[in-house]
Amino acid sequence: MPQLASLLAFAAIALGMVLTPGPNMVYLISRSICQGRAAGLISLAGVALGFVFYMLCAAFGITALLLAVPYAYDTIRIVGAAYLLWLAWQAVRPGGRSPFEVKDLPVDSPAKLFAMGFLTNLLNPKIAVMYLSLLPQFIDPARGSVLAQALVLGSVQIVISVAVNGVIAISAASIATFLTERPTFAVVQRWVMATVLAGLAVRMAAEARR
């Protein structure tokens, strides 16, 4: 099992990332507002399956990589820190688009909603890089099975992401109205999120090899 400190730190990163606008958030919000909460939740089920797919692929791949390449951890750590800085910039860059600006989507069947949710997540570069670059640095081979640790950390990310996205999908219309009426709140939220992500990136880059 990972250390409690590692679990909490990874959970904080997972929370920060799910709150940072990306393809999943934009799709789920637009789907929920255009077709209703049920459609948003069905789409979220597809997104969740995409998380499971990435978790399993990364868990088995990370296990092989960290056991075979002595300096893989340091390389992945630096790449992960750079990616968090990029996410921080995306949160505050000029001209950034709010995910609550609804895209006009056609009405789809439940099967297509599920498939589109899965495909949207599968093609989401934020999730791919997170599993390949961020998750490995929280794994300590000295604490037992690398595979088991990867699965535990991946499960934490999935639970947090599904819970947060579920709340967003259910409350999409209300949140969109709230932010439209209070544009300053949205700006403050973006800067707070960017600061948190940048702080995590600095911590990650400065962390010594275990």
Q: DSSP for 192-207?
A: HHHHHHHHHHHHHHHP
- Which token pair is 138? 């929280």
> How many whole angstroms separate alpha carbon 20 and alpha carbon 197?
9
Give the DSSP H or E segment for 154: helix 146-181
Largest interatomic CA distance in the chain: 54
Q: Let me know the angle formed at the C-alpha of 88 by 135 and 127, rounded to the nearest 5 degrees.
A: 35
Based on the number of CB atoms within 10 Å of its own CB, is 53 exposed (0-12), middle (13-18) or buried (19 or more)?
A: middle
Give pLDDT, residue 209: 47
Q: What pLDDT digit, counting tens, does each position of 103-139 carry?
A: 566 788 999 999 999 988 887 767 777 777 777 778 8
Give me the residues of the chain with pLDDT under 70, please. 62-77, 80, 83-84, 87, 90-91, 94-105, 125, 176, 179-181, 185-186, 189, 193, 197, 200, 204, 207-210
Contacts of 110 (CB under 8 A, 6+ apart): 39, 42
